[in-house]
Amino acid sequence: MYKRLVESGRTDLTIDIFERKKQLGVGMPYSTEGASDEHITNVSGNEIPDLVTPIADWIHTVPEKTLARYKIDPSKFNDYKVLPRLLFGQYLAAQFDLLLAKAKETGLKTTVHFDSPVTDVIDYPTQELIVVEVAEKLHFEFDHIIICTGHNWPRRHEGTVPGYFDSPYPPAKLAIKVNQPVAIKGSSLTAIDAIRTLGRHNGTFSMGSQGRLLYQLAAGSENFKLMMHSRSGLLPAIRFHLEDPHLLKDAVLSHEVVNKNREENNGFLSLDFVFEKNFKELFQDKDPEFYAQVKDMDLEEFVTMMMELREHLEPFTLFKAEYTEAEKSIKRRESVYWKEMLAVLSFAMNYPAKYFSAEDMQRLQKVLMPLISIVIAFVPQSSVEEMLALHEAGVLEIIPVGEDSYTEPAAGGGVIYHYTEETGEEKTVHFNTYVDCVGQPHLSYEDFPYKGLLEGKSISPARLLFKDAATGLKALADGDKNVEMDNNGHYFLRVPGITINDSFQAIDDYGALNERIYIMAVPYIGGYNPDYSGLDFCEAASAAIIKSIELYEPITTDSTDA
Q: Which residues in 45-64 contact ligand FAD (CB under 6 A)?
A: none
534 touching ligand FAD, by CB under 6 A: yes
Question: From the CB of residue 103, how many other CB atoms can be counted at a distance below 10 Å?
Answer: 19
Q: How far is the CB of 50 from ligand FAD (least distance, A)?
A: 14
DSSP code string of 488-527: TS-EEEEEEEE-B-TTSEEE-TTS-EEEEEEE--GGGSTT
Cα torsion 328, 331, 336, 337: sign:
negative
Q: How far is the CB of 390 from ligand FAD (least distance, A)?
A: 20
DSSP code string of 183-198: EEE--SHHHHHHHHHH
| Among the residue ranges 146-154, 392-400, 414-422, 502-510, the one whose residues contact ligand FAD (CB under 6 A) | 146-154
Question: Please, which residue, 7 or 120, has the CB nearer to ligand FAD?
Answer: 120
SS3 content of the chain, % helix, strand, coil (to 5): 40, 20, 40
Query: Which listed residue (149, 458, 460, 505) binds ligand FAD by CB under 6 A?
Result: 149
Question: Please, which residue, 193 or 508, has the CB nearer to ligand FAD?
Answer: 193
535 touching ligand FAD, by CB under 6 A: yes
27 touching ligand FAD, by CB under 6 A: yes
CA distances 61 to 40, 73, 75, Å, are: 20, 12, 12
In three-state secondary structure terms, 99 is helix
- Could you say which DSSP state residue 365 is in? I
| Among the residue ranges 39-47, 206-214, 282-290, 404-412, the one whose residues contact ligand FAD (CB under 6 A) | 39-47
Distance CA 215, CA 471 (A): 53
| Among the residue ranges 17-25, 99-107, 237-245, 282-290, the one whose residues contact ligand FAD (CB under 6 A) | 17-25
95 touching ligand FAD, by CB under 6 A: no
Question: Please, which residue, 17 or 473, has the CB nearer to ligand FAD?
Answer: 17
Q: At what angle do helices 535-550 and 337-350 cross, to 10 degrees?
A: 40
Q: How far is the CB of 238 from ligand FAD (least distance, A)?
A: 14
Query: Which listed residue (2, 3, 6, 28) binds ligand FAD by CB under 6 A?
Result: 28
412-419, long-range: CB within 8 Å, 24+ apart, which pairs? 412/162, 413/161, 413/162, 413/163, 413/164, 414/161, 414/162, 414/163, 414/164, 414/183, 415/163, 415/164, 415/183, 417/183, 417/229, 419/229
Q: Which residues in 100-139 contact ligand FAD (CB under 6 A)?
A: 117-118
| Among the residue ranges 199-207, 311-319, 530-538, 550-558, the one whose residues contact ligand FAD (CB under 6 A) | 530-538
Backbone torsions φ then ψ of 151, nearest 5 degrees: -80, 155
Residues that bind ligand FAD (rule: CB under 6 A) add up to a total of 23
Question: Please, which residue, 409 or 441, has the CB nearer to ligand FAD?
Answer: 441
Looking at the DSSP bridge assignments, the partners of residue 14 are 109
42 touching ligand FAD, by CB under 6 A: yes
| Among the residue ranges 22-30, 321-329, 363-371, 494-502, the one whose residues contact ligand FAD (CB under 6 A) | 22-30
| Among the residue ranges 25-33, 72-80, 389-397, 459-467, the one whose residues contact ligand FAD (CB under 6 A) | 25-33
184 with 437: CB under 8 angstroms? yes
Burial of 53 (0-12, 13-18, 19+ CB in 10 A): middle
Q: Please give the span between the terminal C-alpha atoms of the chain, in angstroms, as a whole number.
A: 28
497 touching ligand FAD, by CB under 6 A: no
Q: How far is the CB of 335 from ligand FAD (least distance, A)?
A: 18
String marking each residue 418-457 x if it binds ligand FAD according to CB under 6 A: ----------------------x-----------------
Q: At what angle do helices 381-392 and 189-201 cross, to 10 degrees?
A: 60
Distance CA 213, CA 385 (A): 6
Question: Please, which residue, 18 or 445, has the CB nearer to ligand FAD?
Answer: 18
Question: From the CB of residue 208, how many other CB atoms can be counted at a distance below 10 Å?
Answer: 11
377 touching ligand FAD, by CB under 6 A: no
| Among the residue ranges 27-35, 278-286, 414-422, 482-490, the one whose residues contact ligand FAD (CB under 6 A) | 27-35
21 touching ligand FAD, by CB under 6 A: yes
* Interaction site with ligand FAD (CB under 6 A): 18-21, 27-29, 34, 41-43, 117-118, 148-151, 193, 440, 520, 534-535, 538
